[in-house]
Amino acid sequence: SAIINAYMAATPGSAALHSKALGAFPSGITHDSRWLKPYPLSCERGKGAIKWDVDGNRYVDLFGGHGSHLLGHCPDAVVEATIEQMRKGSQFGASHALEIEWANLIQEMVPAAERVRFTSSGTEATHMAVRLARAHTGRRKIARFHRHFHGWHDAMAFGVDGHFDGTPTPGVTEAVADGVVLLPPNDIDAVRALFERDNDIAAVIIEPIGANTGNVPIPGSFLKALRAVTQEYGVLLIMDEVVTGFRLAPGGAQEARGVTPDLCTLAKIVAGGMPGGAVAGRKELLDELDFDVSAAKGREKIKHPGTYNANPVSAAAGIVTLKAIRDTDACARANAAAEAVRRNLRKVLAEENVPWGIYGEFSFFFIYMNGAKLDIDPMTFDGFSVPSSTFVPDTRKTLTQKLHLGMITNGVDPMGFRGGILSAEHGEAEVAAITDAFRNTLKALKV
């Protein structure tokens, strides 16, 4: 098609790198979400809301480092703090002052964070969170929701884009899958029914605004109901704030939705674009990692090594980033930019007479391509029960691929086919560029 040809004409450098990458990596990629036919974009530079590919093409970036860059690519203060720390040392094999300052910022900003433990990624954070929950409650199982993504360790590896019946994906054992219960989202009766029939549930873990950061939305009312029912049955609530933390508001979804979990997981923004994560929550739960408390209680503590836990370079980047988020209106700016995009794209759909919908909250927008016009504001659907399959994007793969490639050839790199994540650096010019790219792509697609 014309769109695919235009993409290939503009990106010969990405094509060449992809042929080399095929000799190194399965599918030539290093993260599944970068899979794109005929080949993914290879980039070499980013600044603010913009990134450049290896052919020098300029893009308004709507992926933002998988959500890490609330302040945009390479904020000067973060770059300087990182380089300065790199000169001093990247791993001392010792405690250091920066890790305390970093943790104190989290304690100050995140409502649930009485104590903190740093990891190297979001996957590690959810891995530790569920282990803490099991150890503390003495119960065996974790409940989670269809499509909610919590990283790739065994207990979280299925039920994300299939296997909703709880059968494990290749390489995961039945024994692990037996310890996980998958629930439909937005169905509080299903949660209650589970707690009634099974008293072996240690915790429920949830993406607080819905699967894939709101692609299948969770209204605030469900989160509040979940908090109430978990408290009623003595089940722990883990909020996976790997994406939403420091983004929806300085205190994440906990602040924005007014719901405090027992534990939360953090990554991405917390480490200012460097590798890093954390599990934070009630002291009594984090005490499962404490040598003295465990000894005093006569029980074995949970072990938690990790060479790069709280490494000083990630700490330096994280401190500068969290301070900027605490002390400025960065979250509000990103949210306002996304609101403007949602408004504009809805207008474009109406003007072009395309029966799709635009939805999303905070700094996200999503494109609903399944044909029915979405003229309600899907984000006010408190009490509006949505079957999870309704809000997943179009399954006509060719169309979604063309939309993705069309946006790229029009100078915008979206978050796959799903929509986009805005940053505090997306201003009026970027919103206008996104709007124009969407209009041009729709015209080329002739939907």
Chain contacts with ligand PLP (rule: CB under 6 A): 66, 121-123, 126, 149-151, 207, 240, 242-243, 267, 277
Alpha helices in 216-366 (DSSP H): 220-233, 252-257, 283-286, 291-296, 312-327, 330-352
Whether 188 and 225 have beta carbons less than 8 Å apart is answered as: yes
Provide the 3-class DSSP secondary structure of residue 6. Answer: helix
Q: Which is nearer to ligand PLP, 11 or 311 (CB)?
A: 311
Show the tokens assigned to 116. Answer: 């903190």
Per-residue b or e along 45-76, where b marks 16 or more CB atoms closer than 10 Å to that residue's CB: ebebbbbebbeebebbbbbbbbbbbbbbbebe
Q: Which is nearer to ligand PLP, 229 or 238 (CB)?
A: 238
At its nearest, how many Å lie between ligand PLP and the CB of residue 88?
A: 25
Q: Which is nearer to ligand PLP, 147 or 439 (CB)?
A: 147
Q: Which is nearer to ligand PLP, 150 or 282 (CB)?
A: 150
Q: Which is nearer to ligand PLP, 139 or 150 (CB)?
A: 150
At its nearest, how many Å lie between ligand PLP and the CB of residue 259?
A: 16
At its nearest, how many Å lie between ligand PLP and the CB of residue 10?
A: 28
Residues 369, 53: Cα–Cα separation, whole Å = 28
Return the sign of the alpha-carbon dihedral for residues 437, 248, 97, 115.
Answer: negative
Q: Which is nearer to ligand PLP, 207 or 287 (CB)?
A: 207
At its nearest, how many Å lie between ligand PLP and the CB of residue 165?
A: 22
At its nearest, how many Å lie between ligand PLP and the CB of residue 239?
A: 10
Q: Which is nearer to ligand PLP, 62 or 444 (CB)?
A: 62
Provide the 3-class DSSP secondary structure of residue 202. Answer: strand
Q: Which is nearer to ligand PLP, 406 or 419 (CB)?
A: 419
Show the tokens assigned to 325. Answer: 């988020």
At its nearest, how many Å lie between ligand PLP and the CB of residue 119?
A: 9
Q: Which is nearer to ligand PLP, 34 or 192 (CB)?
A: 34
At its nearest, how many Å lie between ligand PLP and the CB of residue 240?
A: 5
Rg (CA), the chain: 22
Whether 253 and 244 have beta carbons less than 8 Å apart is answered as: yes
At its nearest, how many Å lie between ligand PLP and the CB of residue 125?
A: 7
Residues 367, 403: Cα–Cα separation, whole Å = 10
∠ Cα 112 160 168 (to 5°): 110
- Cβ contacts of 147 within 8 Å, gap of 6 or more: 159, 160, 161, 185, 211, 212, 215, 216, 388, 392
CB count in 10 Å sphere of residue 297: 12
Residue nearest to ligand PLP (CB): 122
At its nearest, how many Å lie between ligand PLP and the CB of residue 166?
A: 19
Helices then strands, counting H and E runs in the chain, come out as: 17, 16
Q: Is 191 left (phi over 0), alpha (psi -120 to 50) or beta?
A: alpha
